[in-house]
Each structure stands twice: as structure tokens, then as C-alpha cells.
Structure 1
């Protein structure tokens, strides 16, 4: 072992369970989902909140404190959570049901599919710890949740970048027809999109910045990393455009493919397995449109990931800004 090199590089540390991906000193907003749901509930008395014993860890406790009579603690029973939410929606209520993404996708899929999606009910599933946002290993890392859910008819999938996305998405999800799945970023969530004149529109992708050499197509927290990497790559004389795609399904192929169908290098960035997520969504749309472009994926590998400190894991699996820059420079 090179002890000098080890000593020169500080160990990266975060809490393994609910770890923040915000950079030191970065502007953040506390519990944007919880506060946005309270605000939406003030205007819509039909909104109710449910959770599977995870209110504190999905920011649903903010809603529970504001509207205790409209909050339902269902215990550690995700099938019951979704079944109850379906029944409430049948009566005209607008449920937001929160749990961890792994439990929503792996344990309660059939209840979401047949009780909620098939009758096209307005039930909004809020999934905490999406992708690699916890260091607790495969039992809690929802690296394949979008792959599991993309094949479900009627289900809208939203992968927000930051607090701005979440705050603006919540009322639109409540007002939309049919079920939705929100990949929740909770706790102290960075706010970055307000610097780009951005507004969230359900079902729409947005070009955040232009660039002559490379096009980043990103979703979720990886849009934040894409913007950071784009700025850093300018020092290497690489001009990078960034297209943010917060809605994975239905996919805004028109906006994305207009950026893909050029002579620039196309790179997708996602906090999800490269199997079944944004990369394959973009590639499929390009093939169907007859666009023969190379698309380089940046995402999580098709394997069960290790446990550990979150920054260390992001570096290991290629999601850090430095690893993004390395991939781009090696691909040009």
C-alpha cells in the first residue's frame, strides 16, 4: 500500500443511512417535500398523507405535524399502505404515500400495479433513498427502481434534481391524473436549478445550458453533478450542454432528441443502474427515431453495490464530478 498517497487524501465521511449529497457550503433547503406538501394541502383539502413507519425519514412528519387529522401511519406494511391509498383515492382523496424506494418497488409492486395503476387512480408514491443515496448496501439502495416501474402502464415517474424541482413538482403531481412515483431527495436538499431560470413542468425536459462539444442528458441529483462537471470541463476547453429530464415517464423525446441528434458527444447521467433507466430510455427513443448516435452512459453498474460512506461510494461507482470529467475526456 502507498501510505504516503493514503495519508495525502483525506477519508470521505458521511452518515451511512441518511447521507446528504450536498457539497460543503452549498445552498440547501430543509425538507422541501414536506413543506411543499403542506403548502399544497392548504389549497387542496383532498390531499392526505400516509407512510409506512417512515414519516421522519421521508419528511412526511412535516405534513403530519401540520395536518394530524389528514395523516395516516400505516406501520411497516407497504402493501397495506398502497391498498389504503387506493381506497382513499377511490373516494376522491389525493393520497401521498411515502416509504423507501426499495420497499415500494420490491415489496409492494403488485398492489401498486393492480390497486392503483390499473384503475388509474391519483395516488402519489414518494420513495426515499433512491439510487445511491444511502450507504446501507443492497437492502436499502434502490438502484433498479425505475427499471422496475418503467414497464407499469399509467405510472408517471419523476426523478427530481433538487429542492426547486421537488417544491414545484408536488402540486403538479397532486393535480395530475393517474398515479405517480417521485424519487425523493430528503433532509437538507441542494437548490441549484434556480440559477438557470428553470421551472418544473411535468412531462417536460429542459435545456439548462448550451455547449458545442458535449451534451449531458441527466436526471435526479446527477443533473447537479452534470452542471458542476460542465463548468469544470471548460478549463479543459470542452464546451458542455446540459439537458435535465426530471420526468422519466412519460419521456420528453422531442426536447431530448433535438439535442442528441447533432455531432456532439452524448452522455447520459443517472443515479440508477445503467439497466432500465435514463440511458436505455434515451437510447430507445433515439433508435425509434432513426438517430444513429453513440451514447455514453454514466450510471450505476449492473451489480449489488457495497456499503460505506456515500462520497466514497459515488467516487467508486463513477457518480462524482471528478469521475464524470474523466469519463468525458476519455470518450472525446
Structure 2
């Protein structure tokens, strides 16, 4: 495991592509359902190389999830792929009633999550999906930080019997984990030790949190970074331990500040170990389309804003 942010970058989509093809070839029960976005999510590799396992469902996400539900009742393992915005909002009724309530073995992968969706427009952004999915009983909610963890999370989901939502991003991110990394459901991963404050991050914000921590170290601030790939179930023990060891918490996510990781961590702290806390996420506002760096700055989730949050919470200790 690396404590210094790697300069090597890979896309989550590339890792997804290779992994889903392998799973579809190794397991006769695995089928890919595509919401007409296969070239964007890169599951078109299955259409090209294992076409009998690829089901094109068109731009009809509600129907796609109903089909996934039906396939799961026959013992198959459907994997549904579309953008996070469409899974979490357009098809949520079908997911709740036909998948989550009966606790069916359906895997849902939401690509293009968060702010940075490649200039596809604000209708294709998803800042609410973690909040929505974590309220559903029986639902597992995962947000990997890099391409290595994508593969590990998908392998876990393949073995897990029940509904799983996996949140992925579009662009390339630094490789944080080595190939021998093992994902554990409901477990956080300490990427960096520190004594003054703990940043608890998930998904894409973990690499930005590491970047912020490295900047702060040069200023004499000792920052621990805890990555939370499993948002539901949540590693409450790791949160309490962080609160006890550093006495101050910053959460970081490329998601609305309402209902996501920050809310989940705050719920744990207020019940178990109240300490000063600052949340980094998109405030109560709608986003817009634009270049990545401009978006990170405008919506206050860049590594600079994570670092500023650390300094803010330290003043509350």
C-alpha cells in the first residue's frame, strides 16, 4: 500500500472493462445489461468479445432494472451498467421495489459519477447517488478510489449474494493500491498515519485527500487519511478510532454534502464520539458543466479546499 500519491494514473473504466469481460467468461451466470452507453462505460468489450452475454437494453433504464430483477429470480447474476445519474434517479423505483426489497442478486454500476463527467452536461452529473442508495435496505454501496480497487470491488460483488451499487468515475486517477490489495466489505483503509486530524474520504476524493495531506505535512500539520470504499455497510469502528486518536475529522467526497459520506460519518460521531468535524462536498446547489479543474474549484472540493477544511477543523479542537 502506498502512502505517497502515485504519478501513475489509470481510468476506472479500463479496469471495469477487463474485469467484467473476465467475469462473463468465467461464470455462465453473469450477464451484462447496457443502457445504451457501452462505449462510454467501456462494457462494449463484452459486446465485441463475448456477445452472447451482452444484452442491449437501450435508453430505458427502468425497464433495464426490471429485466435485471427477472434474470436474478432465475439464478442468473445480472450486471447493469449506465451513468450514476440514471441509476439513482431515473430507475430508483424499480431498484427499490424489484431489487432491494426482495434482496435480489443484482449488481449495479454507476459510471460518470460526481462532477467530472467529461462535459456531458449537468443532467448527466450525479451528486445524490450515495445518499439515495444508502437509504435502501439490503443495499451495499461501494466507491473505489482507483483502478486496482475497482477490480477488487467487482470481484467481491461477484461473490456476494445480494444487491450491490458500485460508484465509478470517468477520468484517470492516481493508482493508490498495489495488486495484492484486498477489499473487505465494511472496512476502511488507513492510507496515511497522522496525529493532528483525520481526513475520511471515499471514491475520487481519496487521491485529492492524499494530495492535501502531503501539502499540509510540509506546513507541519500531521494528517491521517482513511479511505472509506464501503459506505454501506460503514466502518463505524474506524471512525470512532480516528476521532479518539486525532480528535478532529474532515470528510471528503465528490458528492452532495447532504446525505453522503459526510452525513454517514457525522451520524456515527454524534452517537459514538462527538468531535469537531468539517465536511468537504458540493454544497446545497445544482452543478453545471465545465472543465475539471474549474469545477473542482468552483464547487469547493479540490485538494486546496480539503486542506483548508483541515485548518478550519483544527481551530475547533
Whole-angstrom distance in 1 between the partners of 2:194 and 2:238: 15
Residue deviations 1:221-258 (CA, integer Å, cap 9, x gap): 10111111111111100111111110111111112221
**1:17 matched to which residue of 2?**
none
Whole-angstrom distance in 2 between the partners of 1:138 and 1:105: 15
Q: Does 1:82 align with 2:90?
A: no
Tell me which of 65, 76, 84 is aligned to 1:93: 76
- Give the deviation of 1:187 after TM superposition: 5.7
Q: Does 1:297 align with 2:279?
A: yes
Three-state SS of the structure 2 residue aligned to 1:269 is strand
CA separation of 1:313 and 1:125: change in aligned 2, threshold 3 A:
same
**1:318 matched to which residue of 2?**
300
Q: Does 1:147 align with 2:126?
A: no
Q: Does 1:185 align with 2:184?
A: no
Task: Judge conservation of contact 2:192–2:224 (CA < 8 Å) in 1.
Answer: yes
**2:122 matched to which residue of 1?**
138
Task: Judge conservation of contact 1:268–1:296 (CA < 8 Å) in 2.
Answer: yes
CA separation of 1:153 and 1:272: change in aligned 2, threshold 3 A:
same
- Give the deviation of 1:41 after TM superposition: 2.6
- Give the deviation of 1:287 after TM superposition: 1.9
**1:248 matched to which residue of 2?**
231
Whole-angstrom distance in 1 between the partners of 2:311 and 2:172: 32
Whole-angstrom distance in 1 between the partners of 2:244 and 2:53: 48
**2:215 matched to which residue of 1?**
232
Whole-angstrom distance in 2 between the partners of 1:77 and 1:31: 25
Whole-angstrom distance in 1 between the partners of 2:152 and 2:138: 21
Q: Tell me the TM-score normalised to structure 2 length.
A: 0.92
Task: Judge conservation of contact 1:204–1:247 (CA < 8 Å) in 2.
Answer: yes
Tell me which of 253, 258, 272 is aligned to 1:275: 258
**2:147 matched to which residue of 1?**
163
Tell me which of 227, 248, 258 is aligned to 1:265: 248
Residue deviations 1:250-300 (CA, integer Å, cap 9, x gap): 1111122211233432100011111000011001012222x1211110111
The 10-residue stretch of structure 1 (255-264 or 280-289) with the greater mean CA deviation from structure 2: 255-264
Task: Judge conservation of contact 1:222–1:271 (CA < 8 Å) in 2.
Answer: yes
Q: Tell me the TM-score normalised to structure 1 length.
A: 0.88
**1:175 matched to which residue of 2?**
159
Whole-angstrom distance in 1 between the partners of 2:39 and 2:289: 22
Tell me which of 174, 189, 198 is aligned to 1:215: 198
Whole-angstrom distance in 2 between the partners of 1:230 and 1:254: 22
- Give the deviation of 1:186 after TM superposition: 4.0
Task: Judge conservation of contact 2:205–2:254 (CA < 8 Å) in 1.
Answer: yes
List gaps (5 residues or longer) in structure 2: none
Tell me which of 268, 289, 293 is aligned to 1:285: 268
Tell me which of 287, 290, 295 is aligned to 1:308: 290
Whole-angstrom distance in 2 between the partners of 1:187 and 1:219: 16
Tell me which of 40, 46, 55 is aligned to 1:57: 40
Whole-angstrom distance in 2 between the partners of 1:180 and 1:98: 12
- Give the deviation of 1:136 after TM superposition: 3.9
Three-state SS of the structure 2 residue aligned to 1:31 is helix
Whole-angstrom distance in 2 between the partners of 1:63 and 1:288: 46
Q: How many residues align?
A: 308
